[in-house]
Structure 1
Amino acid sequence: MSNIKYILGLFEDPDDMMHGIDKLQENKISIYDVYTPMPIHGIENKLGVKRSRLPIVAFICGSIGGLTAFSMIYYMMVTDWPMNIGGKPNFALPDYIPITFEWTVLFCAFGMVAAFFFRNHLFPGRAPRVMEFRATADRFVIAIDAKAGDNAKIDSLLKEAGAIEVKHNDRKYLSYE
């Protein structure tokens, strides 16, 4: 039994990497992940990445913010300490629209930041998860689970596609320490 967990194909050019993805998918080899130093348009569709659920989180957080503001205003101005201001009713809805909007935006922003940090495991004190250090600088990396198929076949497919280096990792992530 081999200790190899991942096979990494390192490419210099994004076009070669995209060609490598095509070759691997033609041979029914599943790709664990792709790491690039810059965004590449269309790669999500090619890899079958699902659409983000961040808009749903934004809607839920914004709704909670709006309901919180609305209920606080109602409690303070109608139940807790009703005041007669210029003969207006205690709860004049148009007066409270701006603060309700601001709370909606505030809760939405903080909720999305919290969801982003939670989803990407960016907690304070946590070491960054890196599979290949050069993926942030000048290399395009395709990571393949070593249990996905024949390792020699995967190596040859990556080399045919233009990989300048094929590495076998025995760990999931590297650390900077």
Structure 2
Amino acid sequence: MADSKYLVGVFDDGDELLHAVEDIRHQGVKIHEAYTPFAVHGLDRALGYSFPRMGVAAFLFGLTGTCCALLLTFWTMGVDWPINIGGKNFFPFPTNVPIMFELTVLLAAFGMSFTFFFMEDMGPTAKPIIFDVRSTDDKFVVAIDLAKNKLSEAEISKLLKESGASEVNVKEV
């Protein structure tokens, strides 16, 4: 497998990074990812990310939990082992609400967790790419994959420096 070359721009401030990402993307450069020590509001829109669909997954997993709980309580109390207690019906809905709530929350939480880990490729065998260790402390880093851009390394490096990058490095992964 051939190594990928990334151009890594290091910024000192989150606002500088935000404006640099907007300027660089406006010039037609495709940015691989931006790494920050804390959330920078508006960075997701500046990077061109679409609206997250995790809420849809949460709803579907929760709906699955509710349906499973209804099926479980109906089957166990009404079909598999019906017990006539004082002439009450075999499927009392109010007594099953806590079970439905708990299974809804349980399946939604586990489903969203597994979906997140799967979609972000964060399994136990995944090896993270760390472009600059200082991005977890006090620096803001933008990584640009040179293979996916039409501009040369020198042109992108110049754009990064003009946008306020304190350092521009090449990293091979």
Please, what TM-score do these two structures have when normalized by structure 2? 0.89
The equivalent residue for 1:135 is 135
* Overall identity of the aligned pairs, in %: 39
Moved over 6 A (4+): none
Deviates more, 1:29-38 or 1:15-24: 15-24
The letter of the residue matching 2:13 is D
1:18 to partner: Cα distance: 2.1
Separation in 2, partners of 1:170, 1:106: 42
Residue in 2 aligned with 1:9?
A: 9
For the residues of structure 2 that align with 1:128 and 1:106, how far apart are their CA atoms? 29
92-101 vs 34-43, greater mean Cα deviation: 92-101
Match of 1:156 among 152, 155, 158: 158
SS in 2 for 1:66: helix
**Bigger CA drift: 151-160 or 23-32?**
23-32
Match runs of 1:119-134 below 5 Å? 119-124=119-124, 126-134=126-134
Cα distance in 2, alignment partners of residues 88 and 17 from structure 1: 66
Aligned residues of 1:4 and 1:168 also touching (Cα < 8 A): no
Q: For residues 119 and 96 of structure 1, do their structure 2 counterparts lie closer, same or farther at Cα, with a shift above 3 Å needed?
A: same
Gaps of 5+ in 1: 172-177
SS at match of 1:64: helix
Name the counterpart of 1:84.
Answer: 84
Secondary structure, aligned partner of 2:28:
coil
Aligned to 1:25: 25
- Residue 155 of structure 2 corresponds to residue 169 of structure 1: no
Shift of 1:106: 1.2
Structure 2 counterpart of 1:70? 70
Distance 1:142 1:23 in 2: 13
Contact kept? 2:22, 2:47, Cα under 8 Å: no
Deviation at 1:116, TM superposition (A): 2.0
Q: CA RMSD in A?
A: 1.8
Kindly tell me the number of residue pairs found equivalent between the two proteins: 170
The range that moved more, 21-30 or 78-87, is 21-30
Matched with 1:175 is none
| CA pair 125-170 structure 1, distance change in 2 beyond 3 A | closer
Question: Following the alignment from structure 1 to structure 2, what is the Cα–Cα distance between the partners of residues 150 and 71?
Answer: 60
2:104 match: 104
Spell out, residue by residue over 1:55-104, the C-alpha distance to the aligned partner (whole angstroms, 9 max, x if none). 11111111111111111111111111110112101112222122111111
Q: In the alignment, is the contact (CA less than 8 A) between 2:18 and 2:42 conserved in 1? A: no
